[in-house]
Structure 1
Amino acid sequence: MLTPIFELTQTEKSISLKIKAPLANVGKAELVVEDDMVLFHSSPYYLRIHLPGCVREIEGSVGKYDSDRGEFNFEMAKCTPGQHFEDLDMIGKLLLPQKSHAEIKPKIEVLGEDQINVDDGMTDDEDWFIEQEEMCEENLMLTASGRYGFANKLCGLNWVDRDEFSEILDLKGVDFGSIRERTRERRENEGKEFCEDHYLADFMEPDDLLREVLAYVPPWQAESEFLCFVSAKFTSEEREELKKLGNRDYLLDKTEQKIALLSLVDIIFSYAYNHRMTMGDNSVESAWTINKLSATLSWFQSYTDMKDVKVTCARRAIIYPLCRHWELTQTVFKDTHTLLSLGRRQLIKCLLEIHSLFNASHPRYMLNRLYITDYCIWLQKCSEKTIQRLADLFSKVTSIFHLKLYYLSRSTEKTRP
């Protein structure tokens, strides 16, 4: 059976469901509404949706079919008029039923709507993520040896060792070495590949392209006297892609959740750099740029604090791309903060674009399997409060200004980062 493309909208009293099913047997179409579940069947299509609230059929109401568009339109009444149904555009989240907390083992949570609240044993005053001390670093270094992928949940995947993986991964010997060893090896490699002449040439004599790139205004930002955010909405193509990705549950402890969130910043920074450099028109180098700038994707890096994330992003931005300029790096940091501040939907849109780029760039499709697909699904269940905390933390950590002076003086000091 095929899962059709669908779209949900709401008013104060009703929910409208639009289903695109051009091959449907209209005469045998059936819609069943039961509490929070809506089931549609019309061969060869089958759809089961689990809503965040209860609905009922409207007496005397019938579905409509637009033969020109191949679309069904149904309307259902909210059992509680005025109730706002959240995340109706999070396609993957609607495809599977929500699990109750009683099904979750102690100290492990399904990261859904209430991932950082009293159900986690925490209060709003306990901002564990804001703390900068590396209280869990030793445990991470000892237990994460040989692990990689989303939230460091994977290990021992034989297909990762294929020869073609060396094209996209700087780290050698995936199944060996602790996170500390990977970090040391990465920093040594960055130190060797930093080119003082290239950096100083771009810094002292910025060209016309750089000036144009710095002046570029991304589509998620409107140019006005004050910064005006454009609300992120999924296109029909993006909704279709989310449907294809499906849904799954992620059992992450707090350390794994922290790893996932910090690595997300690293990936979004690399996306923001590519978007600004191409001014929104991706090139054949875009997949390479995102892959190379992200230490998560090129070194299977796991972070323990936001300062390490920002330092690593800044280092790689002035070592590997064609354009290596400090002001550009700072501008990309601002872009990254804006994207984080816009919340889950904007981040998912960015990740879906990365997913498409990697699918078209063999063998980077493997990075989708290891990271991007999981992020696209997990973020649909992640709370907006968590993402806003992440954005706030990103803006607070600003102790990387020394890198500019460091790299400018490196040619005389001859030190290694």
Structure 2
Amino acid sequence: MITPRFSCSQTENAVIVSMYCPSIRAADVEINVDETLVTVHVNPYFLRLNFSKPLLDDEESSANYDPSSATLTITLTKENKGEVFEDLDLLAKLLAPRKTPVISSPSIEVISTQGTAEEDLVAQAEALSIKDDELAEAEENDWQIPQEVPQDGLPPLNLSKEKHYGFLDMHSGYLKHALHTENEINELGGDAEECTKEDRTSRRLKHENDKFDEEHYMADFMDDECIQELIAWTHPHISDKNTFQYTEQENAAVLRLPRKEYLATDIQTHDLYLTLITLLFSYAYDSRTSQHDPTPESAWTMGNLTPAFTALDSPQSTEYSGGPHVFPRMELVDALVPSYRRSLTFPLYRSFALAEKCRKDVAGFLQKGKRIVMRCLLEMKDIFDHHEVYYIYSKIWLDDFCVWIQADADDEIVKQLGKNLMEAKVDKDLIDWDLDLIETAALQAIDRETDSDDESIDSDS
């Protein structure tokens, strides 16, 4: 079945679904409404939408097909007229499967404890316990207790070294042949499928330390005219004051996303927000250095700046205590430090001031809400999708993130995260490369050159 292009709007009393369905027979349209779930089937198209509030298929509802525009327009009555249906522009949220109810209490009631499994286990444990007479016999024989080979053999061993990674650790196998491709982003080499979380972090840190170039950093610090121009630029997604509306191209990209339901725990959801910051940082850096005009190097740049891509090392909570999603300042700083380090190590422009501006860009995206965040992720995804090697990072991260942002992310949490991030401050000491000393040495070198020039002028005169 084909998922058609569609859009949703509303009036005070109804929700209107418009579907692009060329070459269909209007008489074959089947519409089913089950409270918040609406399904539409007309060969070869099928659409299933989950709304936030109930609808009715009553006498006031209607379905009309316009052959000239190939548009099927379905009008469904709101069960509670006057209600406002939110997020009708978030197509991924409408397409997401209906949430599976969580059973919070046992579905089987224990009537009697007679002959329960617990009693059987206790009886078996007692049978295996060493009796007093056996203890006496063992003591007499220098504690040489008789032993027998287990009849059922040893428990099976897990011989697989494969580890999962990506969004909610749902993926594996994408980097099995990394050594046979021109994947310059992958820092784990042929061990990418086997590295533990600890290995990924340690390898990432070592690679960053090995690649950091003091002379390159000092040169960009001393001659920063071009970097200051990049810093002065304003991202259009932050400066745009117009009412937000997804473009037709963006809606088409959303319809191509996978249909998934994510059963994330509270701490997993918390960590997703932290990972989101690092993705947006990479996007912000490339957008700022390319003036929002992607280059053939954009995928490489964003990939190398994203720890979750290059080392499969996504940030994890250090201060999470359950309950509402609260993001302490130091937790946000810890999540961003790897992004800062990488921005000072791999791309063309290596400036701490530029990294700070990218942090503020990320905060600006988040404060605008999840629709702007989704737009940023879609642009990032489009760049990776069109790369012959790096497209795998869309598969293991960006596809799922785009679905999650629209369907599951909380808009208020996203905005609060942006506010907290704007107030956070990454100290240079946390980078571990003595940046203050390097900058001081650069300034002293400039002063010595100035003094030398002055002495030369005095001697000539």
Higher mean alpha-carbon deviation, 60-69 vs 185-194, is at 60-69
**Residue of structure 2 equivalent to 1:83:** 83
Displacement after TM superposition at 1:6 (Å): 0.7
Match of residue 193 from structure 2: 175
Mapped contact 1:203–1:325 kept (Cα < 8 A): yes
Aligned 8 A contact 1:145 1:179 in 2: no
**8 Å contact from structure 1 (residues 15, 78) kept in 2:** yes
Determine if contact 1:48/1:95 at 8 Å carries over to the other structure.
yes
Q: Which amino acid aligns with 2:425?
A: T
- 1: CA distance, partners of 2:399 / 2:183: 21
Q: Which has the higher contact order (CA 8 A, sep 6+)?
A: 1
Secondary structure in 1 aligned to 2:72?
strand
* 1:277 partnered with 2:289: yes
Query: Which of 162, 167, 174 is matched with 1:150 structurally?
Result: 167
CA distance in 2: counterparts of 1:105 and 1:266, whole angstroms? 38
After superposition, where does 1:387-402 map in structure 2 within 5 Å?
387-402=414-429
Aligned residue pairs, count: 370
Out of 214, 218, 226, the position equivalent to 1:200 is: 218
- State the alpha-carbon separation in 1 of the partners of residues 213 and 26 from structure 2: 65
Provide the C-alpha distance between the structure 2 equivalents of 1:59 and 1:84, rounded to a whole number of angstroms: 21
Higher mean alpha-carbon deviation, 15-24 vs 172-181, is at 172-181
Instruction: Confirm or deny: 8 A CA contact 2:281 2:362 kept in the other structure.
Output: yes
Aligned mates of 1:330, 1:94 — CA distance in 2: 36
Normalising to structure 2: TM-score of the pair? 0.73
| Partner Cα separation in structure 2 for residue 153 and residue 346 of structure 1 | 26
Classify the secondary structure of the residue corresponding to 1:92: helix
Which amino acid in structure 2 is aligned with residue 377 of structure 1? V
SS in 1 for 2:8: strand
Secondary structure of residue in 1 paired with 2:236: coil
2 CA distance for matches of 1:238 and 1:374? Answer: 16
Equivalent-residue separation in structure 1 for 2:104 and 2:83 (angstroms): 27
Aligned runs of 1:225-374 on 2, under 5 Å? 231-304=243-316, 305-374=331-400
Q: Deviations over 1:282-336 (max 9, x none)?
A: 1111111110111111111132332222211111112111112222211111101
Q: What is the distance in 2 between the residues matched to 1:82 and 1:186?
A: 54
After superposition, give the CA deviation of every residue in 1:38-59 in whole Å (9 maximum; x if it has no partner): 2222222122222111122463
Assess if the C-alpha contact under 8 Å between 1:310 and 1:400 holds in 2: no
The amino acid of 2:396's aligned partner reads: L
Alignment pair present for 1:407 and 2:435: yes
Report the CA distance shift for 1:96/1:379 in structure 2 as closer, same or farther (over 3 A).
closer
The Cα shift of 1:365 comes to 1.4
Paired letter, 2:437: S
In 2, distance between residues paired with 1:241 and 1:105?
40
Alignment partner of 2:22: what SS? coil
Q: For the Cα contact (< 8 Å) 1:147–1:175, is it kept in 2?
A: yes
**2:95 maps to amino acid:** L
Aligned partner of 1:35 in structure 2 is 35
2:413 corresponds to 1:386 = yes
- Decide whether aligned partners of structure 1 residues 74 and 147 sit closer, same or farther in structure 2, where only a CA change above 3 A counts: closer
Instruction: Give the letter aligned to residue 333 of structure 2.
Output: K
Partner secondary structure for residue 251 of structure 1: coil
* Maintained 8 Å contact 2:258/2:399: no
**1:218–1:66 CA distance, 2 compared to 1 (3 A):** farther
1-side partners of 2:183 and 2:289: how far apart? Answer: 26
- SS in structure 2 at match of 1:246: coil
Distance of 1:157 and 1:184 partners within structure 2: 21
* Pair 180,412 (structure 1): closer, same or farther in 2 beyond 3 Å: farther
8 Å Cα contact 1:58-1:75 kept in structure 2: no
How many percent of aligned residue pairs carry the same amino acid? 28
Deviation at 1:204, TM superposition (A): 1.5
Provide Cα deviations, 1:331-373, integer angstroms capped at 9, x if missing partner. Answer: 1111010111222222222112222111111211111121111
Any residues of structure 2 matched to 1:68-107 within 5 Å, and which?
68-103=68-103
Shift of 1:73: 1.9
- Which of 232, 235, 238 is residue 215 of structure 1 equivalent to? 232
The separation in 1 between residues aligned to 2:253 and 2:345, in whole angstroms, is 34
Q: Which moved more, 1:88-97 or 1:325-334?
A: 88-97
Q: Runs of 5+ in structure 2 lacking a partner?
A: 107-160, 317-330, 442-461
Matches of 2:23 and 2:179, distance apart in 1: 41
Letter in 1 for 2:418: A
Matched, 1:376 2:402: yes
- What TM-score does the superposition give when structure 1 sets the normalisation length? 0.80
